[in-house]
A and B are shown apart, each in its own frame.
Chain A
Amino acid sequence: MKKIIRMREMADNQAGTIKKVSATGEMGRRLREMGLVPDTPIQIQGRAPLKDPVAIKVRDFVLTLRNREADNILVEVEPSER
């Protein structure tokens, strides 16, 4: 069973597919113009020393966003092995 979680909750190196971007207005536009639209595969690349912002791999490039922004993105992931 796949499950849907917020991007903030993803572990480092975890991959998934964007299901929904709930941000609106300028933030929504900023996320979308960078290619964060539904059905896009992403992977967590790493986090800054203070665990925020997060760097993700999306469409052949690396994008950084803060956790607060990542909260607007729902991602479908494989259930973790743990």
Chain B
Amino acid sequence: MTKKLTIALAGNPNAGKTTLFNAITGARQHIANYPGVTVEKKSGRVIHQGYDIEVVDLPGTYSLTAYSMEEVVARDFLVKERPDLVVDIVDASNLDRNLYLTMQFKELGIPLLIALNMMDEAASRGIAIDLEALSRMLGVPVAPTVARSNQGITELLNEVVELAEKKKEWSPGILSYGRDVDQSLQEIETVIQKSQIYDKNYSPGWLALKCLEGDRQILSLIRSDEAASREIEVIRTKVYKHTMNTLEEEPEGIIADHRYGFIAGITKKAVKRKIESRLNFSDRIDKVLTNRIVGPLVMLAILYVLYEFTFWASKTPLEFMENFFGGVRQIVAGFLPEGNLRSLIVSGVIDGVGGVFGFVPLIMFMFLAIAILEDSGYMARIAFMLDRVLRWFGLHGNSVMALLIGGGISGGCAVPGIMATRTLRDPKERIATLLVVPFMNCGAKLPIFGMLTAAFFSTDQARMLFAFTLLSWGFALLAAKLIRSTVLKGPTTPFVMELPPYRMPTIRGLLIHAWERTWQYMKKAGTIILGVSIVLWAMMTFPGLSREESERFENERLRMKASFLALPEVRGQVQNESALADLDKFFSECRKRAKKDPSSLKKLADQPLWPVVQETLALIEGPREPGKSEHSALPLASAYAEYRQKRMELSNRENEAALVNTVAGRLGRLLERVTRTIGFDYRINVALLGGFVAKEVIVSTLGTAYSLGSVDTGESGLVSDKLRRDPRWTPLRAFTLILFTMLYVPCFATLVVIRKESSLKWVGFSIAFNLVVAYGISFAVYQGGKALGFGV
């Protein structure tokens, strides 16, 4: 029989809490949200000495007041769920500040164990800690650990089990906070004990302390008893006036001072410092990396290197994924008979899901790059250096991370980007950031940018892409400024932030970190996209051509066939329709082999139709083996090639006509009235409607809409060739489309996340705002460009 235990991991941010959590639980983790809030709840389990231990990773906090969501969540968990034990992770190299939270656990009275982490770092900084003295003075057992290298984990768990077996009760340890405060605490405690709000979850002493600290949550709890609440208010006002008069400080401040005073008393005795060089390793790096001139340059260089790395590393896996989904669609297409079912599965399901998962490598490497920035501590420096700039636009230094994940260095994803806004404390700054993250160039926008750039601005693709990245930053920041000075007006929140010491990231930490975000993307995008791409497929398939029109195309096809068979150079060699069908079949076979494995063609060389096919292939795709041509077959071959070409054009026209007649096509036509002013015809509109599901769909939909023959020729190389030659397309139109794609409505998956992270109201706002911005900018650029004669 295993006995069950629940322990909570708590501690300051950057104290190594997540590393310790990973070291204890390994891969057995479960991530959920705390009910009603967007704070992540991570839990895992470990079996130790016959105990089945559930480990809950509380959000990292510096304090246990009720100011931030994280603190409320941590505190509520401790008070309501009553875990058997709190393991408080304390950074040994930064003892004073870490013990501030420890003091608050002691005040709360929950059974406590300190994991004194980063002992190696403390030692290297010349900080020697007398563990025994520390433990004795705090009255809390202390276990030294180095979570990064798995040291002390077993001993820590031994200690957990040992403490749990003692079944310690809660014992609130309220300190002395000076005579005035202590006296008021006593008075409030008496009031609470008499009142019916006395809740056995909280000790009255702790409630009294929170009252004096002005804790919103506790004060509103107390308000349920009006009489007691009034009495407490009198005491609070009295002591507030008194301390302000005598000490010029509010009681809350005095309480904090005493906590730090108590800590100073302990560390004075338990900590020995060798004379430390005033600048440690991390400080010396910062002298360069946050230098006023060198700092920003290095930052740009680092971001550029990560950008190159991401694209370099993901190139091969991206090709692999493309081939993989290409293979799957071919196999499935071969299995199913032609018709709506095949179209649904191939164009709806496989293309939709493949579009999302095809990007996984790019996104994974981008997240790996961002994990390196975070885990090394550099992300905090970026926030530090950019805070002043971002603040001007109404954002916060910490907004930078969400923007980077959303595609700030090209190729992220807005879904995890929006989730990363959780680190922002102020709701207004958070929502403003969340609303502009979709403006960044996420991975799904890159194919359309790449295709249009290749077609119209091919001189320097990489530089164009870089320019688009800068443009998207510009638009995002200006949009933020607009939002923050209108609908989300309000002051900026403090930028009181720790710059954690630089640390070499661990491989394991990086992988876990990158994988978590990739998984978020796959889960969100994958589940939503399947449903929505089926809807989109239906919109782009039905009602399709009317029967008369279908017949018209069919008749034309028959006419074409008949006139081909009637040609003098054909008549003798291809007698009837079934002979033509044989020729078609043989030609397809040869073409397939020529692409895959040209040497296998030799085996077919004794077939009677071979000379014709060989010449046709040469006419269509360029000669492969010069000098070996069979001139006698040339007339038939050229007639056949021409016939094939015409037939293809006909079926492309049919596809286009079918698309025009679908729901999406009609909608596109309707929208044309507006989009004409920015140079978009209904075909582009249909593609953009598709992009609403997932932006990567735009390229392939454009392909179909422009009668480029769907499916097999969906490679963007071909599409961009055709567009370049198409007189309807100008560089100005291409540029306008790039801008519009960059700015218009976030994709469906993103909207779902916005809904989860804020409210339906902001989803509506996001759609309307982005559409207006995209249209406005496109209008200005297109009309301006036309008037000035740029790129027309």
Do A37 and B257 have beta carbons less than 8 Å apart? Answer: yes
Interface centre among A28, A40, A45, A59 (most CB of B within 10 A): A59
> A residues 2-50 with Cβ under 8 Å of B?
20-21, 24, 26-35, 37-38, 40, 45-50
Whether A33 contacts B62 in the complex (CB less than 8 A), given A20-B248, A46-B287, A57-B283, comes out as: yes
Interface centre among A47, A53, A65 (most CB of B within 10 A): A53
Do B385 and A24 have beta carbons less than 8 Å apart? Answer: no
Do A32 and B495 have beta carbons less than 8 Å apart? Answer: no
Do B495 and A53 have beta carbons less than 8 Å apart? Answer: yes
Do B496 and A65 have beta carbons less than 8 Å apart? Answer: yes
Whether A35 contacts B97 in the complex (CB less than 8 A), given A47-B292, A49-B295, A53-B387, comes out as: yes
Do B498 and A52 have beta carbons less than 8 Å apart? Answer: no
Interface centre among B388, B498, B500 (most CB of A within 10 A): B388
CB distance from B157 to the nearest CB of A (A): 28
Determine the chain B residues whose CB is within 8 A of the CB of A60 once the complex forms. Answer: 93-97, 125, 127
B707 within 8 A of partner (CB): no
CB distance from B491 to the nearest CB of A (A): 10
Determine the chain A residues whose CB is within 8 A of the CB of B792 once the complex forms. Answer: none
Do A48 and B286 have beta carbons less than 8 Å apart? Answer: no
B100 within 8 A of partner (CB): yes
Closest residue of B by beta carbon distance from A24: B250
Partner of A45, one of B65, B125, B286, B496: B286
Determine the chain A residues whose CB is within 8 A of the CB of B250 once the complex forms. Answer: 24, 28
Do B257 and A38 have beta carbons less than 8 Å apart? Answer: yes
Do B100 and A48 have beta carbons less than 8 Å apart? Answer: no
Whether A55 contacts B384 in the complex (CB less than 8 A), given A46-B290, A65-B494, comes out as: yes
Interface centre among A45, A55, A66 (most CB of B within 10 A): A66
Closest residue of A by beta carbon distance from B299: A49
Q: How many A-B residue pairs have CB under 8 A?
A: 122
B152 within 8 A of partner (CB): no
Do B96 and A69 have beta carbons less than 8 Å apart? Answer: no
Whether A34 contacts B62 in the complex (CB less than 8 A), given A49-B295, A49-B296, A69-B495, comes out as: yes
- Taken together as a complex, chains A and B put the C-alpha atoms of A45 and B499 apart, in Å, by 11
Determine the chain A residues whose CB is within 8 A of the CB of B387 once the complex forms. Answer: 48, 52-53, 64, 66
Determine the chain B residues whose CB is within 8 A of the CB of A31 once the complex forms. Answer: 496
- Taken together as a complex, chains A and B put the C-alpha atoms of A57 and B276 apart, in Å, by 14
B718 within 8 A of partner (CB): no
Whether A35 contacts B496 in the complex (CB less than 8 A), given A28-B253, A46-B286, A53-B387, comes out as: no
B140 within 8 A of partner (CB): no
Partner of A62, one of B100, B283, B397: B283
> B residues 379-404 with Cβ under 8 Å of A?
384-385, 387-389, 391, 397
Do A55 and B494 have beta carbons less than 8 Å apart? Answer: no
Do A28 and B495 have beta carbons less than 8 Å apart? Answer: no
Do A55 and B290 have beta carbons less than 8 Å apart? Answer: yes
- Taken together as a complex, chains A and B put the C-alpha atoms of A63 and B62 apart, in Å, by 13
Determine the chain A residues whose CB is within 8 A of the CB of B498 once the complex forms. Answer: 34, 61-64
Do A62 and B94 have beta carbons less than 8 Å apart? Answer: no
> B residues 226-270 with Cβ under 8 Å of A?
248, 250, 252-253, 256-257, 260
Do A37 and B499 have beta carbons less than 8 Å apart? Answer: no
Do B494 and A69 have beta carbons less than 8 Å apart? Answer: yes
1/0 per residue, CB under 8 A from A, across B282-314: the answer is 110011001111011000000000000000000
B469 within 8 A of partner (CB): no
Determine the chain A residues whose CB is within 8 A of the CB of B324 once the complex forms. Answer: none
Partner of A50, one of B63, B389, B499: B389
Determine the chain A residues whose CB is within 8 A of the CB of B94 once the complex forms. Answer: 59-61
| Interface size, A (range) | 35 or more
Interface centre among B293, B387, B501 (most CB of A within 10 A): B387
- Taken together as a complex, chains A and B put the C-alpha atoms of A34 and B97 apart, in Å, by 6
Do B499 and A64 have beta carbons less than 8 Å apart? Answer: yes
Partner of B63, one of A29, A46, A47: A29
CB distance from B445 to the nearest CB of A (A): 30
- Taken together as a complex, chains A and B put the C-alpha atoms of A26 and B215 apart, in Å, by 10
- Taken together as a complex, chains A and B put the C-alpha atoms of A50 and B389 apart, in Å, by 8
Partner of B499, one of A26, A40, A62: A62
Determine the chain B residues whose CB is within 8 A of the CB of A49 once the complex forms. Answer: 292-293, 295-296, 385, 388
- Taken together as a complex, chains A and B put the C-alpha atoms of A38 and B261 apart, in Å, by 10
Determine the chain A residues whose CB is within 8 A of the CB of B248 once the complex forms. Answer: 20
Whether A30 contacts B389 in the complex (CB less than 8 A), given A24-B250, A59-B96, A59-B97, comes out as: no
Do A29 and B286 have beta carbons less than 8 Å apart? Answer: no
B788 within 8 A of partner (CB): no
B67 within 8 A of partner (CB): yes
Do A64 and B496 have beta carbons less than 8 Å apart? Answer: yes
Do B97 and A30 have beta carbons less than 8 Å apart? Answer: no
Do A27 and B494 have beta carbons less than 8 Å apart? Answer: yes
> B residues 54-88 with Cβ under 8 Å of A?
62-63, 65, 67
Do B495 and A65 have beta carbons less than 8 Å apart? Answer: yes
Interface centre among A40, A51, A61 (most CB of B within 10 A): A61
Determine the chain B residues whose CB is within 8 A of the CB of A57 once the complex forms. Answer: 283
Determine the chain A residues whose CB is within 8 A of the CB of B100 once the complex forms. Answer: 33, 35
B32 within 8 A of partner (CB): no
CB distance from B705 to the nearest CB of A (A): 48
Do A29 and B252 have beta carbons less than 8 Å apart? Answer: yes
B497 within 8 A of partner (CB): yes
Determine the chain A residues whose CB is within 8 A of the CB of B63 once the complex forms. Answer: 29, 33
CB distance from B497 to the nearest CB of A (A): 5
Do A48 and B97 have beta carbons less than 8 Å apart? Answer: no
- Taken together as a complex, chains A and B put the C-alpha atoms of A51 and B292 apart, in Å, by 8
- Taken together as a complex, chains A and B put the C-alpha atoms of A24 and B250 apart, in Å, by 8
Do A63 and B287 have beta carbons less than 8 Å apart? Answer: no
Determine the chain A residues whose CB is within 8 A of the CB of B96 once the complex forms. Answer: 35, 59-60
Whether A34 contacts B496 in the complex (CB less than 8 A), given A48-B385, A61-B94, comes out as: yes
Closest residue of A by beta carbon distance from B380: A64
Determine the chain A residues whose CB is within 8 A of the CB of B95 once the complex forms. Answer: 60
The 5 closest A-B pairs by CB, nearest first: A50-B388, A32-B256, A62-B499, A33-B63, A59-B96
Which A residues are within 8 Å of any B CB, using their own CB? 20-21, 24, 26-35, 37-38, 40, 45-53, 55, 57, 59-66, 69
Question: Can you add 18 more A-B contacts, CB < 8 Å, to A47-B292, A55-B499, A65-B497?
Answer: A21-B253, A28-B250, A29-B65, A32-B252, A34-B62, A35-B96, A45-B283, A46-B286, A46-B291, A48-B290, A48-B292, A53-B397, A60-B96, A61-B500, A62-B499, A64-B495, A64-B499, A69-B495
User: Could you list 21 examples of A-B contacts with CB < 8 Å?
Assistant: A27-B494, A29-B67, A35-B97, A37-B257, A37-B260, A45-B283, A48-B384, A48-B385, A49-B385, A51-B388, A57-B283, A59-B96, A60-B94, A60-B97, A60-B125, A61-B498, A61-B499, A62-B501, A63-B497, A64-B496, A65-B494
